[in-house]
Amino acid sequence: MLKKTALFALPLLASVSVSAIEPSDKAIQLAQDTIITDGHIDVPYRLNDGWEDVTQATDGGDFDYPRAVQGGLNAPFMSIYIPARYEKQGGSVLLANKLIDSVEAIVGRAPGKFALATSPDEVEKAFAEGKIALPMGMENGTPIEGKIENLKHFYDRGVRYITLAHSESNHISDSSYDLRRQWDGLSDFGKELVVEMNRIGMMVDISHVSDDAFWQVMKISKAPAIASHSSLRKYTPGFERNMSDDMVKALAENGGVIMINFGSSFVSNSALKWNNQFKDKMAEKNLSWGDSGANKFAKMYRKDNPYPYASLKRVLDHIDHVVELVGIDHVGIGSDYDGVGDSLPENLKDVSSYPNLVQGLIDRGYSDADIKKILSENTLRVWREVEAVAKQMQQSS
């Protein structure tokens, strides 16, 4: 899979044996009885690379229906991911529509298992009916193509958040990964777009954007923003893709929520360092993903330099730190399943693993009410507040 390959995806090797967590009956029941929203799961692009029927059990990937049911996942945001190269090469609108079609096809193949969801009410309706709701978020605003009318098109197709940029600067925003800061944050169009996203009821996602762009969103947005799949810079010093403490505080003041990314190099500094060293070695060999020898070299390198998977405990540390900084109301889950390759932490390897996370939260003294906020209530609250701001803006215009 070539989703975020240049950033985090790794060749598949046998994982180092670790002690599996045995979640308690309480943890399992809490996961089953609670709506679990996950802010970012990359099923659509995974299926674009190689089709599988995720309405049934699959051999690959991190998501399918049986594993989602086992884990209690019932409201995963399907990521409409557009690689950064589409900003220059074109074709982003076509790809975005194709990926949205693929989400609709999942529901069409199994309407008794899945339902599209374009609002918190529809998420709750699907949950009451025993179905998995599939809301959508667009990762990378490139398909807007500088046209406000495209925003409405994708809203009408069901997209409910847009990650303004991805791994490179685009016509909307600078990226945290891109050394070129052509806009010093948001472009003029990007600033206009944030206002229109507020007006139409589209959540603004600040994952991936540069620090300057983040602060400009905080200044402009009248509605709460989200970080759909980000973690904390406290544990990965210097990694701009994650959020600083000051940014988390500002996001909370804005009313927003940070959804913690599970990828090892997002939550563990040792995994991040490994990843950076690996990329340096690839560069020394003049190799890029897609080159004939890249995967072979990567497997050899990883065999000689075992990957330092993060632990579930470290993921919990990120949640704890957000709560310590700004309280329980501003943290959620944004796993990045199907988006970070073989870099997921021990005991959080796929969508069947949420009871392990719940058990960890129980062990750290979180109440059932607090756990429910982390699993979904914070995200659904923000979504409703975005809808309310949109209604107010539309009525006053």
C-alpha to C-alpha distances, 354 to 16, 88, 333, 350, nearest whole angstrom:
21, 38, 10, 8
Report how far residue 362's alpha carbon sits from residue 371's, in angstroms, rounded to the nearest whole number. Answer: 8
Report how far residue 137's alpha carbon sits from residue 140's, in angstroms, rounded to the nearest whole number. Answer: 9
Residue 86 reports pLDDT greater than 50: yes
Residue 4 reports pLDDT greater than 70: no
The least confident of 2-6, 39-43, 191-195, 284-288 is: 2-6
The pLDDT value recorded for residue 290 is 72
Domains of the chain: 25-268+310-396 (3.20.20.140), 269-307 (no CATH)
Cβ(74)–Cβ(376) below 8 Å: no
User: What confidence tier does 7 reach under pLDDT thresholds 50, 70, 90?
Assistant: low
Locate tokens 């995720």: which residue? 54
Reduced to 3 states (helix: H, G, I; strand: E, B; else coil), residue 222 is coil
181-201: average pLDDT: 98
The pLDDT value recorded for residue 10 is 53
Locate tokens 């090892």: which residue? 264
Q: Give this prediction's pTM.
A: 0.95
The pLDDT value recorded for residue 18 is 63
Q: How many helices (H) and strands (E) does the chain have?
A: 17, 10
Residue range 259-303, pLDDT digits in tens: 999 999 999 999 999 999 999 999 999 988 778 888 889 999 999
Report how far residue 383's alpha carbon sits from residue 212's, in angstroms, rounded to the nearest whole number. Answer: 24
Locate tokens 């599939």: which residue? 134
Reduced to 3 states (helix: H, G, I; strand: E, B; else coil), residue 320 is helix
Angle formed at CA 216 by CA 213 and CA 219, multiple of 5 degrees: 155
The pLDDT value recorded for residue 14 is 41
- What's the chain's average pLDDT? 95
92-115: average pLDDT: 98
Angle between helices 378-396 and 120-128 (to 10 degrees): 140
The pLDDT value recorded for residue 27 is 98
Contacts of 304 (CB under 8 A, 6+ apart): none
The pLDDT value recorded for residue 21 is 87
Contacts of 382 (CB under 8 A, 6+ apart): 203, 224, 226, 255, 256, 257
User: What confidence tier does 189 reach under pLDDT thresholds 50, 70, 90?
Assistant: very high
Residue range 350-373, pLDDT digits in tens: 999 999 999 999 999 999 999 999
The pLDDT value recorded for residue 1 is 33
Residue range 56-73, pLDDT digits in tens: 999 999 999 999 999 999
17-26: average pLDDT: 84
Cβ(246)–Cβ(373) below 8 Å: no
The pLDDT value recorded for residue 158 is 98
State the DSSP H helix or E strand holding residue 163, giving kind and residue range, or none if neither: strand 159-163
Q: Which of 384, 352, 378, 386 is nearest to 122 (CA)?
A: 384
Residue 2 reports pLDDT greater than 80: no
Contacts of 37 (CB under 8 A, 6+ apart): 75, 76, 77, 123, 135, 332, 333, 375, 376, 379, 380
Tokens at 156, concatenated: 């009408």
Q: Are strands 159-163 and 114-116 parallel, antiparallel or unpaired?
A: unpaired
Residue range 110-165, pLDDT digits in tens: 999 999 999 999 999 999 999 999 999 999 999 999 999 999 999 999 999 999 99
Residue range 221-238, pLDDT digits in tens: 999 999 999 999 999 999
93-120: average pLDDT: 98
Q: In what order do the strands lie in the sheet with 257-260?
A: 37-41, 75-81, 136-139, 159-163, 203-205, 226-230, 257-260, 331-333
Residue range 317-343, pLDDT digits in tens: 999 999 999 999 999 999 999 999 999
Residue 244 reports pLDDT greater than 90: yes
